Structure 1
Amino acid sequence: MSPPPSEPPPLQPKHSASRLVWIYAAFASLWITLSDQVVAWLVSDPFQLARISTFKGWFFVAITTWLLHTLLRRLLAQITASEDQHRVLLDFKTRRTEALLDLSEASQHMDERGFMQYGQELAEQLTGSQIAFIHLVHEDQETIELVAWSKATLANYCTAAYDNHYPVSQAGIWADALRQRAPVVINDYATATGKHGLPAGHAHLARLISVPVMDGGLVRMMTGVGNKSTRYDEQDVETVRLISDAIWHIVQQRRSQAALRKSEYQLQLVTHNIQDVIWTADLQGKFTYISPAVELLSGFKPEELLGKNLSAIVAAEDADEVRQAIAKVIADHAAGLAFSPLQREIEQPCKDGSRVWIEVNVNGMYDDKAQLIGMVGVIRNIAKRKEQDRLLQLANQVFEQSQEGITVTDAAGIIVAVNAAFSRITGYDRAEVVGQNPRILHSGRQDAAYYRAMWDALTSVGRWSSEIWNKRKDGTIYPEWLAISALRDLRGQTTHFVANFSDLSQSKAAESRIQWLSYFDPLTGLPNRTLLQDRTALTLSMVQRANEPLTMMLVALDHFSTINDTMGHHLGDQLLVETARRLSVSVREQDTVAHLGGKEFVLVLPGTDQLGATHLATEMLGNISQPCKLGDREVSVTASIGIVSYPENGTRFEDLFRAVEIAMRNAQAKGRNTYAFFSTELYDQVLAHEAMTQALRQAIANQELSLVYQPQVDLQTGQICGLEALLRWTHPEYGQVSPVQFIPLAEKAGLIISIGEWVLNQACQDVRHWLDLGIMVPHVAINASPLQFRDNDFVAQVRSALNTSGIDPAQIYIEVTESALMDDVPRNEAMLHALKELGIQLSLDDFGTGYSSLSYLKRFPFDQVKIDQSFVRDIATNPSDMMLVKVIISMAHGLGMKAIAEGVETEAQCDIMRTSLCDEIQGYFFSKPVKMPEIEQLFSEARQLPEHLLRQKKPQRTLLLVDDEANILSALKRLLRRDGHQILTANNGAEGLKILAEHRVDIILSDQRMPGMTGVDFLRAAKALYPDTIRIVLSGYTELQSVTDAINEGAVYRFLTKPWDDDALREQINKAIEYRQVIEDNRQLENQVYNTNRELMAANRKLKDLLQQLQAGQASGPGCASS
């Protein structure tokens, strides 16, 4: 490439034209002025003068034409030459520009040094130089480093090594460009002054251009070219400067890009290999970047979250707070306030639905003009830290809330921490003991050797524990269990000791108490059975050696359980304590009085014979029966006392105690409030009793138990409506044993639950058997003993029996005695509801014979009340019994239950039950209890009550008249009694409700305007309590809206006005009675349909079973079918 042309001198056409004009003007002026004078001087002839003047004019034209031609040709030559020079210069600048543009592309394929060489070669070519070099200047501006020669320089002239550092002060005049911070041009290096010589291996210099590259106010690079064949000019300087600047900027750009790539790579390494999530967001809080760690944290990929708001990745309950916080910092920045970094601990929902605790840090992101352009932050998984905090908090709670005292000391044994239990046990506050030595707690009961052994154990094995005596702040000494452990660091050095201790004062007292309770009764303070046995054995050995008699008494308070149940256990306990005191003051010091628990006391009397025992027993009976003050009541009790003698009735405690129990039961059998001595006859009875109990244990396995059934009859239809299952025991030796005899045995021996379960399963199987025969038994009633009902497995037993038999649960009635319900009312209520949920019916047995409580009874879901035979037995002769029966029936109906009377043995009793509106009867009048075949015969015969004993035979109707005017009641009573109705009257609604509770009422005729309660309100209450009644308003006062509402609600059947027409009123009453009869007939029809449906279901079930048997026979093959 040829060197650049010199810059041509600028061509000035305006000046050239002016000069040409001035030359022409000067010449023309001189010619005109001088030529005329010369001609006038030389020629005087006018003619000749004219010819000469003409010639002179043409000569002037010729001369001026030549002169103008000469000047114009020279001007045109200058213009042409200038244009050629400018064209060459323009071509050079174009080539230089293209070369500069090629630098950027060339840099992409070269390393830094190769690129610098390439740039120097361009400088050489464009300036016509033979050498080119680049030096880098250090930041201190005092040191330079040779970094690049052009290839031609290296090949032909230079052997100097790269990376050669030397101070600027030692550099020659070629470094003046650095010193002067301006280009240096030397066109004669040989004559130049200030040279310091050239470095070894440096190329020879003849001419030189040295150009500094400035950046940031400092010289960063120095570029030079040299040894051009001609002089260097400004164009060469400009070329070197442009190439140098381009090289420097491209190198810097490459370095910046390399640093950026390195930074990005390092950032990528960081963001891909740390568990923290790094993110950026715009000013709306939407993610613009989020690192891959977010997937490990939450299960969401980064691309799933880009564009979403930061508040979208937090729990819903935290989203508003995050949005508000971000909005606030952006608003603060807009207002000119500094960005306040945010930090929140929140829960983040994960992709799988779980949650993880995170810490969100938010900072501002700014551009180079300090303008907020977004947000940058870190999300950190703090689940482990939260868990550590929780464990730390838990540890602190354990430390503070531990019931054991905890002391922490340093390695020197100085207390650094104690917990609340320490202060509670020792009496010292934290402030009083922190910084102290635990010796402040020493009681002085342990010597120095004890503590040396403790420290030896801590030093050798790191732990020690023992029972120790320490001293509280108040000086009291107490026992404690102390355990000390040494805490060691990673180097195995002991840093702390932790002591756990528990106050043994209470446990020591408890041990003493337990030891005392092992031998004494806690209520009375008397010896218990264990101590009684020990003392009896010791006393027997003493009287045996002394050949003396000994008497043992067993004292049992009569009816103590009744006092407990009616007055409360706390008063029962007071009675036992008082009885213990009275017995203790009745005996001698050498005698023993023991309390065995409950109502029984035992006395062991050494040296007392039968006569002395008789006197003492009589005295004790008198003492015990003395009135006793219990709370605000005075109570008198009696006792039954059994007496045995040594050695006649036994020589060991076991023998004597067994005998005294028999004697005490004999005293109870004699009527209580007496004493009885043991006899062999009593013993024989006990043996017989135990033998029968043992036989009863084998009764189920030996198939000695059986069921008989007594029919229950509906008084409306006269038909059998159910059966009661009754248990029988037939023993090979005892024969037929009465239930009255063996049921108490079973209860006492704990057999009643297993026997009751057998009865339940057998009865269900019998119902199944009858269904299979096509006999539809409406229901079977099964008695549940109190013990069986209290069994927690009873409901499961009933469910199992129903499932095994496959019968309809509605075919089973469970009869529960009233006394069994009063023991634990909430539990029993839940039990009854659980039974009802199975679908069975419930019957209340022996109602009125126990502790009756209507407040409890109405909570129980019974379907039926059974009137005990004790009320039925004398009902035909005893008005009180009749009244009680009617009350029970009315109460049952009022509670929505049926009433059944058991023990009905005569027609009179049956008729009374019919007229008393009893629903069902059971007893010998219809049938005694019979076995299954006879039951089947009864159903096949369709046996029923005589028709004249049925309730459906024109029952007398009962009318209740309610009016606050006596004359109205009297007139109505006279009018309506003529039709044979039973008339009841009341003066107001409250009295009317009371009568309804006591009597079965068919029709209610009530006034509307009465004091206290209006007629409509009264009839609404009557409808809620007794929905079967027919309710009529008879009133002269009309409040239309309330009456209309009552009629619409069904509370009022008719509204009649006063005064009334007698015949019209009687007609309305008769219509109401007919309406009532229709209701009853419909109910009876529903019952008949129900029973018929059940019979059809049983027949269908039997038919289905037969079809299945036939199909099974056909499937088994011809051989089986023929057999």
Structure 2
Amino acid sequence: MQSTKTKQKYRTVRFTLGRKLALVILAFLLLWGAHGAVDYLGRIQDKAFNGMVNESGKLRMYSQRIALLSIACASSYQQDSASGASCHDALRQSVQSYDASLQKVASAPFNLFFKSDREQIHASVTALQADWLEYRVAAERILASMAKGGVADQDHYFEASNERLLARAEALTELLVASQRRVQMAQDMASNALQLLGLLLLIIVALLGYRQGVRPLRALAQLARQAGQGHYDLHLHYQAHDEIGELVEAFNQSNLQTQRLLDRLREKADTARRAEIETDNILESTADGIVITARDGCILRINREAERIFGYSREELVGRSVHDLVPQRHRQPHRVYHRAPVPRAMGGISTVTALHKDGYEVPVEISLSLIQSDGQQRVITVVRDATQRLQMEADRQRLLSIIDVTPDITAMFTMDRQLIYLNPAGRRLMKARSDKEVTDRRFDELLTPASLRLLREQALPKACSDGQWSGELMLCGESGGEIPVLLLLIAHNQKPGTETHLSAIARNISDRKRFEAELLQQATHDSLTGLANRLLFKDRLKQALYQAQRTNLMVAVVFIDLDDFKLVNDTMGHAVGDLLLCEIGRRLEAQLRKHDTKARLGGDEFAVILERLSSQEDAISIAQKLSEVLCQPIRLKEREFVVTTSMGVSFYPTDGGDTETLLMHADTAMYQAKSAGRNNYRLFLPEMNQQVSERVIIENDLRQAVARDELRLHYQPVTDANNQIVGAEALLRWEHPEYGFMQPDSFIPIAEESGLIIPIGQWVLEQACLQVRHWQDAGLTLGFVSVNISARQLREPDLSQAVRNALDTSGLAPERLELELTEGSVLQRTEAARQILEETQALGVRLVADDFGTGYSSLSFLKQFRFDKVKIDREFVRDMLTDQGDAAIVKATIAISHAFGATATAVGVETAAQADALRACGCDHLQGYLCGRPMAPSDLQELLQSGCLIEQVVPTL
């Protein structure tokens, strides 16, 4: 009763939808009333403002009118008394009108303006009133004088005061306009705020309407549809004290009651179904197929495994005869037996066959049981698929067949290595003919003693702990030898308390071992000579150093390089070069001790490790004998070769403690031997590293020399028989920032070896051509400039293109450029050199044979290459006055040159007597200190500009 009263009281104060709607309407009415009030006040303010602005404008008009009438009336009154009287009335009326307008402005309502604006307007009106009083007194004075018949002279006063009144009126008008604008802005803001408030109120009403009206009703409709579909466990969570809230609460209560009823019904159904499921689970969970039939053979029920065995679904089999699952040939005996079935256990008879849905037969094992159900006899048949068992048995037989014929040895034995099984391949090694002859023997008989020890100490413990072990062992062969095998040992852990058995599979890896040996030979030995390669050499050197540490003996590394081997390759071909390398390898093998390592490191570089040395003298003696043996003549393809060697020797521990250091120091010593004239050996000295470091520094600096503008060209004049300068030879100098001017012989060999001679040679060509062209443009005559071409440049196929580029860039005529080539540089690659030089001569460039007479085939040199000029070497010119042989060589060279159509130039001319003798022999040009030392371009330019004959030696700059 108390609860009912509380609910009734609650209903009297609840916030219903009608009350909510009334509040919304009230809020909008208040909003619209506020908006109307703002609009009404705005209209009143606009009306008052328009009146004030109008009166303020009249004040300006009246003040100007008074000023004009005061001036006009004075002149008209003097001329005509009648018009003066009319003017008097107009002036008085204007004064009265101004006074009336000013009073209206002063008494106008300013309450709707802001406080600060009101104060400014009152101050402006007060100031205007004060000015008007003074102005009015002056106007009254004029009126009084006009009434007496005279006019006061007040023109200047009205003009000044009228401007002030106009300014005051104008300021008042502007102040009114500004104040009205601020008021209007405030009114607009209030109106906009009210509109925004209305919009927000509308949005809030819409959101509340959606949240408390549309959304719960939509959710309620959705729940009603789901309840119609049988879902009564859903509830709508909505808290509101209105009609919708009551509707939701009633719906939730209805669903709750319905759900409780359904739960009670479901519990009863579950209890009944649980018993059935337990029975089905027992039936379905068995691993064998179960078929329940009536006495007449009609199938009543089957399980999942029976479906799989026979291929039918239970819908297809239930109601059919069990005889349909028997092959056609067995159906008649089966019908007879089924009339009086006898219970039997699984495995009592061999497998029988059942018929699958797809038509093939399935081997099965069956058991039969008879039961009584509801007064009727039922036959329960348990069917087991024997396919997998038979397949495993067949696989076992096949596996045994494979094991019997495989060449791998397969065995099974106990932990004490007593054999259980051994396949035929293993039995052949034991010379046993059957399994019976093996069972009383041990696995140890197959292994060598070392392999048996490995099996006991490592393989068996590892297999028992990890499950398996694999490794290489040696078996005893049938003929007494050893067979390398890869053995896989597998432990078969049985149940606790039972003995562990092991299986062993051994594969013969004799072929793989032989192949690995061949690969190792190829990987560690030179394929051409059969000597050790660089990899094996370093490994042997590491071992030698380790042994030397233990025995306190010395180790020597001998680095051997063949002198001029490339010339053999280029002239005779690589086939002959390979034969020569093989012969060098054979001589190393024959001359050195067996325990000394002989290696070919690459190309024509060999190295030797001399072990067990007591002193350096032992290695020196071996190096001397080795040098004598290697330089003995070698006869290859009907030709005899003499190949000399340059050798460098480093010692452990004095010259280094590791392989790289010893090999590097031996290489450094070998280069010193080459620099010393080749065909000798050098022991490594610490100062050699300093020389190598200086060479590296020079090479690095030389790489930057062109970019840093450190290279310079000096020019040595060449004169004719009349001491006139006809040309010059361009000579390269390097102005090193640290070492000063460097001569070519200190850096040109480094440039040759490093390949820097290619860009440097290109630079020399271009600069020489540009300089001669510059002299020509200056009006100076220089017949030619000669540039030296190195052997490395001549090996570049782009040499002719480089010459063409230099000529095109400078604009120099080709016949004014001469290229000087030594005999050795040309004969290294005769055919290639001939092609390059022919392309160069085709451009119009002249070729010069430099240092003629110093080679070993000079006449063939002139014959093969058509040179335009021959330079006689300074060695012959220097002693030609005292040595008849040198004089004869000079004369012959000049004659040969002329015979080949070339001019002759003597180099190294230092005395007038030498010059006279050369001219007497018919020498065409002279070059030497007598004609001029190498000089800078500016000095040669001054010499050319003077036009004088060369009479004295030009000092070196």
Q: TM-score range by the shorter chain?
A: 0.3 to 0.5
The TM-score, its normalising length taken from structure 1, stands at 0.37
TM-score (norm 2): 0.43
More RCO (CA 8 Å, sep 6+): 2
